Amino acid sequence: MRMKKSLFTKIAIIVLSFILAAAFVGCGKVDTMKRVSKNKVVIMGTNAEFPPFEYRNDKGEVDGFDAAMAKEIAKELGVELKIEDMAFDSLLNALASGKIDFVAAGMSVTEERLENADFSEAYYTASQKIIVKKDNDTIKGKADLEGKKIGVQEGTTGDLEASKINNVQVSRFKKGIDAVMDLKNGKIDAVVIDASPAEVFVSKNDDLKILEEDLTEEEYAIAVRKGDKELLDVINKVIKNLKDSGKYDELVTQYIGQ
């Protein structure tokens, strides 16, 4: 009798632990749409150091092409938009943990990122560019970057691309503009960064130039938590509506200017 009882107790403990473990796992899962409609707010995560897609305007608010798109998403959801500004390389963790609901940060779709998030339809085609000092006539393209000191924004596709080059020393910055400052000060030889912010930074610094060559071709898209299909459908609908209505082209003219 005693033996039987303790066996029963053991089984009961095992079963209970499974139930408890399942309950804890369940707690980690965020029901995004439920939370959005309950709190009447959707939270965009970004890194407001990436003009013209996201930057702080004169009022100190996060502005830019992505912020404008995010406003349309909030409007479609019928809720308020809240923006969390953080380091670019912490965005996908913040998304997975439920701190934010989607990422709009000029984020390029990559194989690795697709393992940790779902992405919307692409909304912009971009490329990586090289910035050097205007008087630099030795670095004419990617082939000349071997053995050089290159500045990048940490965790970006520019970081990935620069790190592939032979014998390079890659300096990783939290903000692209800090890499540009080190280039001006002669601490590094080149900066590898997305074309659009490169244009903005170089237009404000007449001692710098952008090289012709495109190092990559990438697509910007909005990231949501894996499996957040309902939110993703809304986001894709907004992107489609913006394109169909001509509003997308207006935003490109307003923010990117081409």
Position closest to ligand GLN via CB = 156
CA distance 251 to 64: 9
CB 211 within 8 A of CB 130: yes
Query: Coil, strand or helix: which one is 118?
Result: strand
Site string for ligand GLN, 111-130 (x = CB under 6 A): --------------------
- Asked if 156 interacts with ligand GLN (CB under 6 A), we say yes
- Asked if 43 interacts with ligand GLN (CB under 6 A), we say no
- Asked if 107 interacts with ligand GLN (CB under 6 A), we say yes
Among 32, 120, 153, 196, binds ligand GLN (CB under 6 A): 153
> In the complex with ligand GLN, which residue's Cβ is closer, 66 or 77?
66
Show the tokens assigned to 227: 């499996």
Show the tokens assigned to 135: 């008087």
Please list, in sequence order, all residues whose beta carbon lies within 8 angstroms of the beta carbon of residue 124, skipping any fewer than 6 positions away: 65, 106, 219, 220
> In the complex with ligand GLN, which residue's Cβ is closer, 77 or 173?
173
Task: Name the one range near ligand GLN by CB under 6 A: 30-38, 68-76, 151-159, 229-237.
Answer: 151-159
* Of residues 194, 179, 182, the one with CA closest to residue 130: 194
Task: Name the one range near ligand GLN by CB under 6 A: 9-17, 67-75, 103-111, 248-256.
Answer: 103-111
- Asked if 47 interacts with ligand GLN (CB under 6 A), we say yes
Task: Name the one range near ligand GLN by CB under 6 A: 11-19, 74-82, 153-161, 182-190.
Answer: 153-161
Cα 106 from chain centre = 6
> In the complex with ligand GLN, which residue's Cβ is closer, 182 or 230?
182
* Number of Cβ atoms within 10 Å of the Cβ of 182: 16
CB 62 within 8 A of CB 56: yes
Among 105, 162, 215, 238, binds ligand GLN (CB under 6 A): 105
* Of residues 167, 170, 220, 173, the one with CA closest to residue 195: 220
Task: Name the one range near ligand GLN by CB under 6 A: 104-112, 137-145, 207-215, 226-234.
Answer: 104-112
Query: Coil, strand or helix: which one is 59?
Result: coil
Q: Write down the least CB distance from residue 52 to ligand GLN, Å.
A: 12
- Asked if 104 interacts with ligand GLN (CB under 6 A), we say no
Among 157, 189, 198, 234, binds ligand GLN (CB under 6 A): 157
* Number of Cβ atoms within 10 Å of the Cβ of 258: 7
CA distance 255 to 111: 28
Positions in the binding site for ligand GLN (CB under 6 A): 47, 50, 88, 105-108, 153, 156-157, 194
